[in-house]
Amino acid sequence: MKRILVGPDSEKEIDFEPGEYPLATLETGTALVLRGGQVHRVTYANGLLLVNGKQVRLSLADPRNRRRNGNNNADSGRRDVKAAMPGKVIKILVEPGQSVEPAAGLLILEAMKMQNEVRSPGTGRVTSVHVKVGDTVASGQALVTLE
Amino acid sequence: MVETILVANRGEIAVRVLRAIAEAGLRGVAVFTEIDRRALHLAHADEAYLVDSYLNPESILAAARLAGAGALHPGYGFLSENASFAALCAEAGVLFIGPPAEAIRSLGSKTAAREVAIGAGAPVVPGSEGAVGSFAEARRVASAIGYPVLIKAAAGGGGKGMRLVEKENELESALRDASSEAERSFRSGEVYIEKALIHPRHIEIQIFGDNHGHLIHLGERECSIQRRHQKVIEECPSPLVALYPEMREAMGEAALKIARAAGYTNAGTAEFLVDGDRNFYFLEMNTRLQVEHPVTELVTSTDLVHMQLEAAFGAELQLRQSDVSWRGAAIQCRLYAEDPANQYFPSPGRIDRLRMPSGPGIRLDNGVYEGWTVPMEYDPLLAKLCVWAQDRPRAIARMQRALRETEILGIANNVAFFRQLLIDERFRSGDIHTGFLNDFVYRPDTTLSEAELDAVIAVLAASEPAAELAIPAARSNWSRR
């Protein structure tokens, strides 16, 4: 069976036999895989896995589905800075049109009484700020777009 | 005779106290906010009442009246060290389970506690006499004791309102920042100045007193492993005190002197800093149950919450100083919803998977469950994982085993961080200080062996058909709301 193993930064094509390694599901979300007599414990949910305690983000994609929706938003040089954690916007430090250096503060998020500065991942220009002070943001939500 | 006790707290400590209440054969009353409607502590209560905030005395006392609660346990944090709240409880005819309001008042402010300690003849870190009133005074004090100095909030704790000042030109802005942070966190902008010790250990003494004049100490806890001035690992015994057992007696006696001078009863903790020459200095008194009380319970075979209830009800303390003994070693890891790879930033969110350890020597004080959303409004402490074993090396091995069994998915957490910390040679040697984590680089291990990758593929492939159903979840009849 051909699949693409998709990681956060890379992908690789794999070919394997379904059922090649015996797998025993314990409770929902945890499975044991026996391979060469060794027990590997995998706990998983929503694309995240703990493999013998190590956390990774991996998923399988079907190469046939892949080709259909290839060519998805070709790199326009724009990138969103996303919230790594849920929180509340306390302060916005940039405005559209402003140029930023790597690690420049973009805005300040607060969660659980801790404040955290969201910083620019690189050099760029702010094209838009998607949030305002007082907004509650979810993890992964776009905060600022840079180009 | 009190039959019903209200617990004015949430999370794992509310669960801990409600358990003690149930074991005492009494009725436990929980309070909860709108955000905490599905919080775990409610499941351990006989009754539960909605309050608008865990910090609102009127709301909490109204719940106590509704429940007919004769006593109230404040847990830690929130209103636990608020002398006026303790006094309000007394006025409302609700027994406050903790020290008397006057003792909270005289020890609650760090500057007042320092004065009590000096009066009682206990050693304190050199610093300002009381709160510093002006920049000029701060500059005079700081240059007299010598830099680096620490600015601290008089009403504070947990590193809030605290600033390290290396040089005089940083003093003015640090003073301003500390004071405004203190004002926001504790509604008091008062700050004081202390000499900053280089690489001190944080070692604290558990004390306990009844209303009949008996006051004892239950030895020390080592709490030097801290991030942002908040503890993450606590141990009993301290690896240092284990080498120099006479320290326990000396520090215990100093703690008792301070407690006696303040008319202290019930549970409390005297915190000390210890320098490289094993000199110890009184830092502050925590006039409440500590987060890390379980390690003392495990090593001294006591139940501090049960003792708190008994003492509050007027019983005479049965345990005398000569009866207190310390057996084996206990370690606690605070499991936090935080990202150790990103400056320990809090990570609220849904707990998709939760596997907690069990078996010999494990004590888990847990406040969460799988499927629950950890709210962003409160402290990120999820659970306290404690172990006991015959000695420290075996306790470390047991904790490593327990952490192997612990799995949390869905929110960033510090389980893998503890796994790495427990193999650190310096930690294992016991040569630790409060700056230890500043030099510790957390490198999450995410490299999978060939075999592990095969295991992942097997798991992903087995769960694939469900993911490949042609109907998008949102349009199916089975969509979740």
* Mean pLDDT of all residues in B287-303: 98
Pick from B204, B216, B198, B296: which is nearest to B256 by CA? B216
The answer to whether residue B352 neighbours chain A at the CB level (below 8 Å) is: yes
* Mean pLDDT of all residues in B297-312: 98
Cα A83 to its chain centre, rounded Å, is 11
Give A76 to chain B, closest Cα distance, Å.
29
Domain finish residue from A47, A68, A89: A68
Give residue A78's pLDDT: 82
- pLDDT (tens digit per residue) in B82-140: 999 999 999 999 999 999 999 999 998 888 899 999 999 999 999 988 899 899 999 99
* Mean pLDDT of all residues in B210-230: 96
Tokens coding B364: 């888990």
- A15 and A57 share one domain: yes
Tokens coding B222: 């080592």
List the 405-424 stretch of B: residues with Cβ below 8 A of A.
Answer: 407, 409-410, 412, 415-416, 419
pLDDT above 70 covers a percentage of chain A that reads 93
Would A74 be classed as within a structural domain? no
Which residues of chain A have a CB within 8 Å of the CB of B404?
53
Lowest-confidence pick of B309-323, B393-407, B458-472: B458-472
A69 has a pLDDT exceeding 90: no
Mutation for B interface: A54, A57, A62, A69, most B CBs within 10 A? A54
Give residue B159's pLDDT: 79
Confidence of residue B467 (pLDDT cuts 50, 70, 90): very low
* Mean pLDDT of all residues in B297-302: 98
Which residues of chain B have a CB within 8 Å of the CB of A14?
457
A91 has a pLDDT exceeding 90: yes
Sheet of B163-165, strands arranged across: B163-165, B149-153, B191-195
Which residues of chain A have a CB within 8 Å of the CB of B403?
53
B32 has a pLDDT exceeding 70: yes
What DSSP designation does B468 have? T
Give residue B94's pLDDT: 98
Q: Which residue has the higher pLDDT, A62 or A115?
A: A62
- A112 and A56 share one domain: no
B407/A30 touch (CB, cutoff 8 Å), yes or no:
yes
> Cβ(B351)–Cβ(B371) under 8 Å?
yes
A76 has a pLDDT exceeding 80: no
Just list the catalytic residues of B. Answer: 288
Mean pLDDT of chain B: 94
Structural domain total, chain A: 2
Dihedral, CA of residue A81, residue A87, residue A88 and residue A90, to nearest 10:
-70
Confidence of residue A86 (pLDDT cuts 50, 70, 90): confident
- Letter for the amino acid at B309? L
Mean pLDDT of chain A: 86
Of the CA atoms within 13 Å of residue B424, those in its CB half-sphere come to 20
> Cβ(B369)–Cβ(B383) under 8 Å?
no
B157 has a pLDDT exceeding 80: no
- A45 and A95 share one domain: no
Domain finish residue from A49, A68, A87: A68
* Mean pLDDT of all residues in B458-478: 57
List the 280-339 stretch of B: residues with Cβ below 8 A of A.
Answer: 337, 339
Mutation for A interface: B185, B409, B414, B445, most A CBs within 10 A? B409
Three-point CA angle B364, B366, B367, nearest 5°: 175
* Omega of the bond leading into B148 within 30 degrees of 0 (cis): yes
ipTM for this model? 0.85
Would A91 be classed as within a structural domain? yes
- A96 and A142 share one domain: yes
- A102 and A137 share one domain: yes
B430 has a pLDDT exceeding 70: yes
Give residue B344's pLDDT: 93
- Nearest chain A Cα to B184, which residue? A113
Dihedral, CA of residue B221, residue B223, residue B224 and residue B228, to nearest 10:
-160
* Mean pLDDT of all residues in B419-442: 97
Work out the angle between the directed axes of helices B11-23 and B304-312 (0-180°, nearest 10): 60
B456 has a pLDDT exceeding 70: yes
Give residue B471's pLDDT: 39
Nearest CB partner across the interface for B455, out of A33, A62, A84: A33
Gap between the Cα atoms of B343 and B354, Å rounded: 23
Tokens coding B235: 């141990």
- A88 and A39 share one domain: no
Q: How far is CA B49 from CA A68, B3, B8, B26, B34, in A?
A: 55, 17, 10, 17, 10
Nearest CB partner across the interface for B448, out of A31, A54, A116: A54
- Nearest chain B Cα to A115, which residue? B345
Give residue A68's pLDDT: 53
* Mean pLDDT of all residues in B385-399: 98
Give B82 to chain A, closest Cα distance, Å.
20
- A112 and A132 share one domain: yes
Which residues of chain B have a CB within 8 Å of the CB of A84?
339, 342, 345
- A95 and A130 share one domain: yes
- A101 and A62 share one domain: no
List the 360-399 stretch of B: residues with Cβ below 8 A of A.
Answer: 376-380
Domain that holds residue A127: 79-146
Confidence of residue B472 (pLDDT cuts 50, 70, 90): very low
* Mean pLDDT of all residues in B253-260: 98
Domain finish residue from A68, A101, A117: A68
- Letter for the amino acid at B178? A
First-to-last alpha carbon distance for chain B, in angstroms, is 48
- A142 and A83 share one domain: yes
Dihedral, CA of residue B275, residue B276, residue B278 and residue B282, to nearest 10:
0
Domains along chain B with CATH numbers: 4-97 (3.40.50.20), 126-195 (3.30.1490.20), 201-439 (3.30.470.20)
- pLDDT (tens digit per residue) in A46-55: 989 999 999 9
Would A7 be classed as within a structural domain? yes
B448/A88 touch (CB, cutoff 8 Å), yes or no:
no
**A&B contacts, CB < 8 Å:** 137
Confirm whether pTM is higher than 0.80.
yes
The answer to whether residue B444 neighbours chain A at the CB level (below 8 Å) is: yes
Location of structure tokens 């500059």: B139
- A59 and A89 share one domain: no
- pLDDT (tens digit per residue) in A31-43: 999 988 899 999 9
CATH code (residue A97): 2.40.50.100
A16/B345 touch (CB, cutoff 8 Å), yes or no:
no
Gap between the Cα atoms of B242 and B377, Å rounded: 40
Would A47 be classed as within a structural domain? yes
Give residue B271's pLDDT: 97
Would A98 be classed as within a structural domain? yes
Nearest CB partner across the interface for A49, out of B380, B456, B468: B456
- A62 and A11 share one domain: yes
Give residue A112's pLDDT: 80
Neighbouring residues of A81: CB distance < 8 A, sequence distance ≥ 6: A106, A118, A120, A121, A142, A143, A144, A145, A146
Nearest CB partner across the interface for B451, out of A36, A54, A136: A36
What DSSP designation does B51 have? -
Give residue A67's pLDDT: 60
What is the dihedral sign for C-alpha A120, A125, A130, A135?
Answer: positive
* Mean pLDDT of all residues in B174-203: 92
Confidence of residue B232 (pLDDT cuts 50, 70, 90): very high
Contacts of B297-301 with C-beta under 8 Å, sequence gap 24+, read: B298/B236, B298/B328, B298/B330, B298/B363, B298/B386, B298/B388, B299/B219, B299/B236, B299/B237, B299/B326, B299/B327, B299/B328, B299/B329, B299/B330, B299/B388, B300/B218, B300/B219, B300/B236, B300/B324, B300/B325, B300/B326, B300/B327, B301/B327
- Letter for the amino acid at B64? A
- pLDDT (tens digit per residue) in B43-68: 999 999 999 999 999 999 999 999 99
In order, the DSSP letters of B253-266 are: HHHHHHHHHTT--E
List the 168-187 stretch of B: residues with Cβ below 8 A of A.
Answer: 185
pLDDT above 90 covers a percentage of chain B that reads 88
Give the containing element (helix H, strand E) for B222.
Answer: strand B215-227
Give residue B313's pLDDT: 97
Give residue B470's pLDDT: 38
Work out the angle between the directed axes of helices B83-91 and B57-67 (0-180°, nearest 10): 30
Would A59 be classed as within a structural domain? yes
Give residue B154's pLDDT: 86
> Cβ(B145)–Cβ(B197) under 8 Å?
no
Location of structure tokens 């991030």: B227
- pLDDT (tens digit per residue) in B5-28: 999 999 999 999 999 999 999 999
> Cβ(B458)–Cβ(A33) under 8 Å?
yes
Give alpha helix (H) positions in B293-389: 293-300, 304-312
Would A46 be classed as within a structural domain? yes
